[in-house]
Structure 1
Amino acid sequence: MLSRTADHLYWMARFTERAENLARLLDVTHQMSLVPQSVTAENQNWGAILALNSLEKAFSDAYDEVNAENVLRFMVSDAKNPSSIYSCLRSARENAHAVRGTLTAETWESCNATWIELREQKFEQILSAGIGEFFDWVKLRSAVTRGVTFGTMLQDEALHFIRLGGLIERGDNTARILDVKYHVLRTNGDEGTTDFYQWGALLRSLSAFEVYRKVYRDVITPARVAELLMLRKDMPRSLHACTGGIVRVLNAITNAQSAETERCAGVLYSHIHYARIDNVLAQGLHSYLADFMDRIYDLGEGIGRDFLMPAA
C-alpha cells in the first residue's frame, strides 16, 4: 500500500476517535459540574481539559475567562482550534475524501454525512438543544462510522491502518481521561451519593459503567476503576486491550524497517500485561499514566516513520 494512502486512512481513524473521546471527556466534566461545588472548583475542572490537551495559551488568546461555556465553545465548535470536535470531524472527512476510492461507499457516506450535519450546527443551537445530547450524537456517529467500516471493508492493509489509528488514539485518550478525572475525584470526592455519582460518570464516559457492575458486583472504588480501565484485557477501551490490539496489527503489517517499532509496542504491551494495580498505585498512578502516554506518543512517531507519508 502507498504510504500516502496509509497515512490518510490512519489519520481518518485517529481524528474520528479523537472527536469521540473529546466528547466523552467533555461529557463527564459537564456531568460532574452538575454536582454542587464551588465555582472555583468547577472552573478548575474545565481548565484541566485545556491543560490535558496543551491548549492553555491558545484558549487564553481567544477567551478572557476559563468557565464552562467558554471551554465548551472552544472545544466543541471553534474552527480555529485544531483539537475541537468541529476540527477533528472536518479533518476526518478530509482524509476520507482523499482516499475515497479505498473506502466502501458506506464508510465514506457515514463520514461525510457526519461532517455535513455538524457544519450546519452553531454552538448556540447545540447549547440550547442540550450539550449532553450533542455529545451522545458525536459518540453515536463515531460508532456508526466504525461499525460500517469493520462491517463492509475488506480485511486487508487498508483496514489494518484504520484499526491502528483508532487503537493508538483510544489508548492515549483513555489514559488522559483517567489521569485527569481520577485525581480530581480522589482529591475532591465526597463519601456517599455524590461520590458514587461522580465515579459513575467517569465510568459512563468510557462506556464502562455496566461492565464495572458485571465484573465487580460491588461498590465503586478508585482502585477497581483504575484496574478496569487499565489492566482488564476484556474491557474494549482499556489500556491492555488497546496495546494488545496495536501489537497484533503491527504484526500483520510488518515491513523491513518496522522491527524497532514492533519491539516498542511489545514492550509497552508487556508493561501493561504484567502490571498489578496495587503496584501501579504504590508507584503513583499519575507517573505510570504519564509514562504510558510518553511511550504511546513515541510509538505513534515510530509508526509514522516506518509506514506513513514522511512529514513535509
Structure 2
Amino acid sequence: MLSRTATGLYWMARYLERAENIARVLDVTNRLSLMPVRGSHNNELRVPLNLTNTSELYWSVSDALAMPQLFSFFALDDRNPSSIFNCWQAAWNNAHAVRGSLSSEVWESINSSWIELRKIRRRGVGSGGADAFFDWVKERCHLFRGAMFGTLMRGDAMNFIRLGTLLERADCTARLLDAYQYLSDADDDTVREYYRLDTLLRSVSAREAYHSIYKQQLAAEGVNEMLILREESPRSLRSCVEDIAGLLEQIGSSGEDRPRYLISVLHAQLRFSSKESVLDRGLHAWLSAFLGELAALSDSIHHTYLEAK
C-alpha cells in the first residue's frame, strides 16, 4: 500500500474517533455541570478544555465558562480545530482522498454524515437538543465502524483504519482518567466522587461492564483497574495496546521496525502490571508516562509507514 493511502486511512479513522470522543466528553461534562457548584469554580467544565489544550483559544472567543458556550465551541465552531465539525470535515477530506480503498458502504456512512452535519450547523442546535446531538455523533461513528467491519477486505486498508482508531482511543482514555483523577484530588466529597465515577464510565460506555465484572458499588480503584489493565474492556489501555500490537504484526515492515519494538515494550508493561504497582507510582505519573510512550509510538508509526506531513 502507498504511504499516501495509508496516511489518509489512518487519519480518517483518528478524526472520526476523535469526533466521537469529544461528543462523549461533552455529554458527561453536561451531566457533571448539573451538580451543585462549590465555591466560585466549576472544575468539571474545564475537563474538555484541558483534554484538548484549547483553554487559550476558548477564552479568546468566549467571555464565560458555561455549558452552552462549551457546547457551541466544541460541537460546531469551525474556529476550534478540536470541534466535532472540524474533526468530521478532516475525516471526510481524508476519506475522499482514499475513496478507492473504501467500500461504497463505508464511504456513504462518512459522506452522508458529513452532509447531515453541515445541515445541523446551518440550523443550529438548541440547548434542549444537545443530548440528541451527542447520540447522533456516536451513532454515526458506530455506523462507520459497522460498515467497515462488515464490508472491507481484511488487509492493510482495514489495518491502518483500526490502527488510527485504537491510538486515538487509548490517548483519550488515558487523558480522561488523568482529568478525573485531578477532579478527585481537588474535591474529596464522596457523593460528588461517586457521580463523577459514574459519568466517567458512561463516557466510555463501560457502566454495565463494571458492574458485571466487580458486582459492587463504584470505587475509584476498580474503575482505574478496569480502564487501564482489564483486557475485557474494549476501551481500556491494555485492550487498545494489545490490538495495536496485533495490527503492527500484520502490517510488518522491511528493515528497522521500531513501532513493533515500542508496542511490545508497552504491551509487556500493561500485561505484567498490577493495580498496586500503578497506584504506588501515582496514577498521574503513570498516565503521563503512558501518554509519552504512546506519543513516541505514534511518531514512530509516522516515520515508518506514513507520508510526511
- Tell me, what secondary structure is at the counterpart of 1:151? helix
The alpha-carbon distance between structure 1 residues 120 and 5, as it changes in their structure 2 partners (threshold 3 A), is: same
Q: Does the aligned pair in 2 maintain the 1:3–1:309 contact within 8 Å?
A: yes
User: Is 1:227–2:225 an aligned residue pair?
Assistant: yes
* 1:31-59 deviations in Å (ceiling 9; x for gaps): 111122237332x3222321221112222
Q: Does the aligned pair in 2 maintain the 1:257–1:306 contact within 8 Å?
A: no
* 1:3-54 deviations in Å (ceiling 9; x for gaps): 0000000000000000111111111111111122237332x32223212211
User: Is 1:30–2:30 an aligned residue pair?
Assistant: yes
Where does residue 88 of structure 1 map in the other structure?
A: 87
**Aligned equivalents of 2:241, 2:33: Cα separation in 1:** 32
> Over aligned residues, Cα RMSD in angstroms?
1.6
User: Is 1:198–2:196 an aligned residue pair?
Assistant: yes
* 1:45-93 deviations in Å (ceiling 9; x for gaps): 2223212211122222222233222222111111121111110011111
Displacement of 1:130? 2.3
Matches within 5 A, 1:166-177: 166-177=165-176
- Tell me, what secondary structure is at the counterpart of 1:7? helix
Where does residue 136 of structure 2 map in the other structure?
A: 137
User: Is 1:16–2:16 an aligned residue pair?
Assistant: yes
Matches within 5 A, 1:87-166: 87-122=86-121, 125-166=124-165
Where does residue 48 of structure 1 map in the other structure?
A: 47
**Structure 2 alignment gaps of length 5 or more:** none
Matches within 5 A, 1:283-298: 283-298=281-296
- Tell me, what secondary structure is at the counterpart of 1:58? helix
Displacement of 1:195? 3.9
**Structure 1 alignment gaps of length 5 or more:** none
Q: Does the aligned pair in 2 maintain the 1:77–1:123 contact within 8 Å?
A: no
Where does residue 252 of structure 1 map in the other structure?
A: 250
TM-score when normalising by structure 2: 0.95
Read off the aligned partner of 1:85 and give its amino acid letter. I
Where does residue 217 of structure 1 map in the other structure?
A: 215
Displacement of 1:258? 4.9
Q: Does the aligned pair in 1 maintain the 2:105–2:147 contact within 8 Å?
A: yes
Read off the aligned partner of 1:61 and give its amino acid letter. S
Q: Does the aligned pair in 1 maintain the 2:29–2:47 contact within 8 Å?
A: no
**Aligned equivalents of 2:244, 2:133: Cα separation in 1:** 30
**Aligned equivalents of 2:35, 2:256: Cα separation in 1:** 48
**Aligned equivalents of 1:123, 1:22: Cα separation in 2:** 20
Read off the aligned partner of 1:163 and give its amino acid letter. R
- Tell me, what secondary structure is at the counterpart of 2:300? helix
* 1:156-201 deviations in Å (ceiling 9; x for gaps): 1101000100010000001111110233135325334x54333211
Where does residue 3 of structure 1 map in the other structure?
A: 3
Q: Does the aligned pair in 1 maintain the 2:78–2:85 contact within 8 Å?
A: yes
Identity, % of aligned positions: 39
* 1:118-147 deviations in Å (ceiling 9; x for gaps): 111138732344212211111111111011
TM-score when normalising by structure 1: 0.94
Where does residue 240 of structure 1 map in the other structure?
A: 238
* 1:223-252 deviations in Å (ceiling 9; x for gaps): 000000000011100000000011110111
* 1:84-104 deviations in Å (ceiling 9; x for gaps): 111001111111111111100
